[in-house]
Each structure stands twice: as C-alpha cells, then as structure tokens.
Amino acid sequence: MHNTLPLLDRLSFPAIRRSTLRTLQVNLTYRCNQRCLHCHVNAGPTRSEAMSDEVLGVLQAVIDAHPVDTLDLTGGAPEMHPRFRQLVQHARAAGLTVIDRCNLTILSEPGYADLADFLAAQQVQISASLPCYSRDNVDSQRGDGVFERSIAGLRQLNSLGYGQLDSGLALNLVYNPQGPSLPPPQAALEADYKRHLREDFGIVFNQLHTITNQPIARFGSTLVSKGQFNDYMQLLRDNFSADNLDGLMCRSTVSVDWQGYLYDCDFNQMLDLPMPVLARERSHLRDLLAQSLDGQPIVTRDHCFACTAGQGSSCGGALA
C-alpha cells in the first residue's frame, strides 16, 4: 500500500440523483435453497423473512397505479414465496415486464416441477446465476452438485424455448467473480460462455451479465476474515470511472424489502440505508402512490464504488 492515497480515496462517492422510476426490484423473501459465498443478502434455507399478504396488496396497488414498466423479483429464491405466482400473474396482466432472478436449482426442488412451465406461459424473463461454465468453479462457490442441477435447469428452459432465437423468452446468465477481483470484459466472457455451453452441453442463452461483488454481508465478512477487505476497496476505488455514473441502476430502480420499505438499491437494503422521502426516516411502498421520486438524492456510501469500477456493474450487467 502507498503511504499517500490517490485523491479519490479521500473523497466520498459523488452525489447523484434519481431520474424517472421504471423498475421495482422486490425482495420477496430471504429464504433460499442455496447458500452462496458471494451472496450479499445472506440468504439460505433457514431464513424465514417473507413479504406479507398486506404488503403484497400495497405492491399490487402500486403496480396498478404507478407508470413503472418492470417488476424485478429477487430474494433469496423469489419462487419460494407462496404468493410468487399470483404476483407474477398480476404484474403480467397489468402489462409489466417481469424478471425472475432464478438460481436454476430451484427448478429441480420438490414441489417446483411445473415452475419452468409457469414462467414460460407468463413470458417471464429469467436472469439465472451461473458463476462459471465449469463444474469445479460453480460447486466451489455454490455447493456440491449445483453445477449439474444448473445445467439440467438450463436444458429444461431451452426445451421450452428460453434462449432460442425469436422465441420471445429471454434467458440471461449472471456471472460473479469468485474472489476479490473485477469481472473480465463482459463481451469476451459472454462469447466464452456461449461457446462452452453450446459445445459441451448444447445450451443456448441470450446475454451474459457480469456483476461486481459488493464488499458487504457474507462476501464482505469473508474479505475481512482473510485480510483482503482494504485491498479490495482500494481496487474498486482505483478503477472508478465517472463515465458509469449516468447508467447506474439506482437512478431508475427502487429496491423494495420484504416489509415494503424502499431503498435506492438492493445493496443499500442489506446495509439498512433507507431511501428518505418527504423528510421521513424511512419511505414505504405506499409513498409511491402519491410521491414522485424524480430528482431525489440517492443515498451513497463507499460500497457504491463497486458499481462504477471498470466497465461498471448493475443487475443488468456491465454499464460500459
């Protein structure tokens, strides 16, 4: 480490403000059938937090009344929420694009045999996490047997038309680095994924989204325990690019937790950094029925450097 840090390291993350709200990213539950090392939610099989019917009712009212165009469902494994299918049907009937952030292994869990058919029938876009195209790398990050079940899930989705040209069923894969490093260039890695998955398994998909690991929650704790936290933060700061600021997903997306409270992003949600509206400490889904967020300041901290490092990072992949 240098004795004198670059000027950027002595500054806070640049102030940014919201544009028009387009996407509701809703964390339905922290329950998950997996427990991944990189998970910023600390999700797992023993977590019980889940959105109540009352809050779901408010969410559906917002969908009906607010001009948002996308419902992005995440968790945990969002499909494990008992009202998942009802919410998907409501949003699709209202004309919204629905994204399911699927871990693929949920498709082979007992009780979910018809899940893939349901997603296809509702034309839900699938954003599926697959941190590598090799068995050893995936299983080391997500658990023994996860790669084989993920491949089986992708084949099932392909058989229904997902990822196929002109099918209208989008299947995008998500890549996270295994350790404290930035993702490689997205376009080149996507080409590698497509070649390996097609040649080795006969699998096709639409796009690969690379996402930088956030130095928070489970991954952050791992960095601290290995003495790598400061070096990783330095890496993020050293690779800051102001060109990525305009494309940050927090400008047009609101993250909603299982209780209905609002955050500028899913990462702020995990850090309990709520989005203030109307000068209150916390804002709720109900506020979206009467309050515009245009021009509102976005709550930022040092972890935000992860979204602006290098090619940039969002739930939709690289920004540059």
Give tens-digit pLDDT for 277-292. 755 678 999 989 888 8
pLDDT tens across 129-158, in order? 887 776 656 655 555 678 889 999 999 999
pLDDT tens across 258-284, in order? 999 999 998 999 899 998 775 567 899
pLDDT tens across 96-125, in order? 999 999 999 999 999 999 999 999 999 999
CB atoms within 10 A of CB 222: 17
User: Cα separation of 11 and 276, whole Å?
Assistant: 23
Residue 144: per-residue pLDDT: 60
pLDDT band at 1 (very low <50, low <70, confident <90, very high): very low
pLDDT band at 46 (very low <50, low <70, confident <90, very high): confident
Q: What percent of the chain has pLDDT over 90?
A: 71
Provide the 3-class DSSP secondary structure of residue 6: coil
Residue 10: per-residue pLDDT: 47
Q: What length is written for the chain?
A: 320
Provide the 3-class DSSP secondary structure of residue 8: helix
Q: Is a pLDDT exceeding 80 seen at residue 36?
A: no
Helix, strand, coil percentages, rounded to 5, for the chain: 40, 15, 45
Residue 9: per-residue pLDDT: 46
* Cis bond before residue 76 (omega within 30° of 0): yes
125-129 vs 171-175, strand pairing mode: parallel
Q: What is the mean pLDDT of residues 207-217?
A: 91
pLDDT tens across 172-183, in order? 999 988 889 999
Instruction: Give every CB contact of residue 168 below 8 A, 6+ residues apart in sequence.
Output: 123, 161
pLDDT tens across 72-92, in order? 999 889 999 999 999 999 999
User: Cα separation of 99 and 130, whole Å?
Assistant: 16
Q: Is a pLDDT exceeding 80 seen at residue 250?
A: yes
Q: What percent of the chain has pLDDT over 70?
A: 89
Q: Is the distance from CB of 222 to CB of 293 less than 8 angstroms?
A: no
Residue 140: per-residue pLDDT: 58
Q: Is a pLDDT exceeding 90 seen at residue 71?
A: yes
Q: Give the residue from 177, 227, 185 showing the smallest Cα distance to 36.
A: 177
pTM for the structure as a whole:
0.91
Residue 7: per-residue pLDDT: 43
Residue 6: per-residue pLDDT: 45
Residue 284 CA to its chain's centroid (Å): 20
pLDDT tens across 215-235, in order? 988 788 889 999 999 999 999
Domains of the chain and CATH, by start: 7-308 (3.20.20.70)
